[in-house]
Amino acid sequence: MKTDHSPVTPADAKIAPKPPLRRFHQASWDEPLLFEMTSPGERGVLVPEPDVPLDDTLPAALRRAEPPALPELSQPQVLRHYLRLSQENLGVDFNIDVGQGTCTMKYSPKVNDQFIRDPRIADLHPLQDERTVQGVLEIIYRLEGLLREISGMDRFSLQPGAGSAAIYTNVSMIRAYFAARGEAEQRDEIITTIFSHPSNAACAKTAGFKVITLYPDADGYPDIEALKQAVGPRTAALLITNPEDTGLFNPRIEEFVRIVHEAGGLCAYDQANANGILGITRARDAGFDLCHFNLHKTFSTPHACGGPAAGASGVTEALAPYLPTPTVEFDGTRYYLDDDRPESVGKIRPFYGVVPNLVRAYAWIMSLGGAGLREAAEIAVLNNNYLMKKVLEIRGASAPYAPGRPRIEQVRYSWEKLAEETGVHSEDLGLRAADFGTHYWTSHHPFVVPEPMTLEPTESYSKADLDEYAAILAEVAREAYEDPETVRTAPHRSTVHRAREDVQDDPATWSVTWRAYRRKILGA
């Protein structure tokens, strides 16, 4: 083989400038499922034969008649499989992830992962005697104190495993509160809004309440006249997000709370979208009785795809008796778990929550401090309004409702004009963005904003990041006008070009397990 020994010139050594737009190309392995890769007899681990006869130790009813149908593979095959899959990805740490609006994609500091891998956290067992876990109990207790200060609420439970679990906890506490007053049967309606976090309607339904949804008025705010018509002796609670998914902060929120309180109902503030208001407004100061945070949104812990999430349910003193059991308490010398809570709604998940995420959230808040939290919110709002200005300069884009008003932490845009003029849909544009190494999400259903796009640039992104993201959107929109076919058939450089959403939407065909896939798709 010929080797080039010519000297390196200054021109060779020059670092290439950052390209205006990155051309992304995803790895494509055409990777089969582990079940399809199985090779009979192959083993990853040889399990030793038991020392005692199994017949003596396991009752017959617990013994399998035949071995489970697991894939048979060696360790390196499994490792290669997962590394290949990890390359067929467009993950949060891999792109300018401002397109997953409403999800508050911010940087999860990697140093916080080191804390949770420390044996003093990683090796704990939830059944350990509480005298041996004083450190982690102190972290949970202190984190509750921080969230109390941030929200103004009197008590928190950190047990819920995610935002929806926290909303379900709040709905359960609302029911317990009215049951204690003999009003549980009468107050069977929960009011929410179409631009609120949809988990509010879903959790209320799951808990057995009827749900009344308010639609936006001409300015995009929830229709306060509709609220006045909806409240009454059947009203249990208002579950509302503010700012809503439009990014508009409802300036009449105290009036909403007053109307519901006057009808005898409670008010729960869904603070999944709290990132733009940290240190600026508080749920309690607006009169709310309950609130919840998603620690994986505002407080930087990884979202569920990076491990389990965590939610936090906050209440006023009047609702504190109904908090899930146990609570973490401090008697002046030691931390302990309080299980003696007769009015509690019980357990929302086992033990006392997703502890590693509580540690991460505590570390994140302590690293910023009070002033830092407010600064994070201010930067998130500035970023959002900067990006909105750039997006609205793109042909075919608009931001429905309240023209000219600044938004808080996110915006639900519309590509309706572009779609009418080019036949290219918002979903197509988002998929074409994948060819430039990023993406965006449209909206919850139904699409109240036509041809939607929801962007939420948190404090984690620099001006250069936002410029690059806006340049990608501008390029994709230009292509829609000049070369619509390229956009409509995108993405072109991803592992899968178009997923069949109809297959995923239809109960007759959707398959989230190997067993379901075999039955529904393979017909086996």
Partner 1 sequence: MRFGLVVNPVAGLGGRVGLKGSDGAAVQEKARALGATPRASERAALALSELRSRLGGDELTVLTAAGAMGADAVAAAGLVPDVRYEPGDPTTPADTVRAATALAPQVDLLLFAGGDGTARDVLDAVGLTVPVLGVPTGVKMHSAVFGATPRAAGEAAALMAAGGVRLREAEVMDLDEDAVRTGRVSARLYGHLRVPDIPVRVQQRKMGSSITDPSAVSGIAAELAARQGPSGLLVLGPGGTTRAIAAALGADVPVMGVNVLTGDRRVAAADVSAAELEALVRASPAWIAVTPIGGQGFLLGRGNQQISPAVLRAVGRDRFVVVATEAKLASLGGRPLLVDTGDEDLDHELRGYLPVLTGHGKFAMYPVR
- Pick between residue 259 and residue 373 the one whose CB is nearest to partner 1: 259
Binding site residues, partner 1, CB under 8 A: 191, 194, 201, 205, 209-216, 218, 223, 225-227, 229-230, 420, 422-423, 425, 427, 442, 445-448, 450, 484-485, 488, 501-502, 505-506
Instruction: Rounding to the nearest 10 degrees, give the CA dihedral for residues 369, 287, 269, 452.
Output: -100
| Min dist. Cβ of residue 312 to partner 1 (A) | 28
By beta-carbon proximity to partner 1, the closer residue of 428 and 468 is: 428
CB of 304 to partner 1, least distance (A): 22
In the complex with partner 1, the residue whose CB is nearer, 381 or 419, is 419
**What's the maximum distance between 2 C-alpha atoms anywhere in the chain?**
89
Cβ 414 to partner 1, closest distance in Å? 11
Q: How far is the CB of 121 from partner 1 (least distance, A)?
A: 41
Q: For partner 1, give the closer residue by CB, 209 or 269.
A: 209
Determine the Cα–Cα distance for residues 296 and 303; give it in Å rounded to an integer. 5
**Cα 354 from Cα 349, distance rounded (Å):** 9
CB of residue 120 to partner 1, shortest distance in Å: 46
For residue 250 the two structure tokens come to 């409802």
393 vs 506, which CB is nearer to partner 1? 506
> Cβ of 104: how many Cβ atoms within 10 Å?
24
Pairwise CA distance, residues 314 & 293, whole Å: 8
Least CB distance from residue 500 to partner 1, whole Å? 8
Q: Which of 472, 384, 367, 368 is nearest to 429 (CA)?
A: 472
User: Closest separation between CB of residue 465 and partner 1, Å?
Assistant: 28
d(CA 93, CA 73): 30
8 vs 218 by CB, closer to partner 1: 218
Counting every residue written for the chain, the total comes to 524
Nearer to partner 1, 307 or 450 (CB): 450
DSSP string of 394-435, one letter each residue: STT-B--SSTT---SS-EEEE-HHHHHHH---HHHHHHHHGG
Least distance (Å) between residue 259 CB and partner 1:
13
Q: Which C-beta is closer to partner 1: that of 338 or that of 420? A: 420
Number of other CB atoms surrounding residue 422 within 10 Å = 22
In this structure, what token pair is assigned to residue 404? Answer: 């000219």
What is the DSSP secondary-structure string of 180-225? HTT-TTT--EEEEETTS-THHHHHHHHTT-EEEEEPB-TTSSB-HH
For residue 114, the tally of other CB atoms under 10 A from its CB is 10
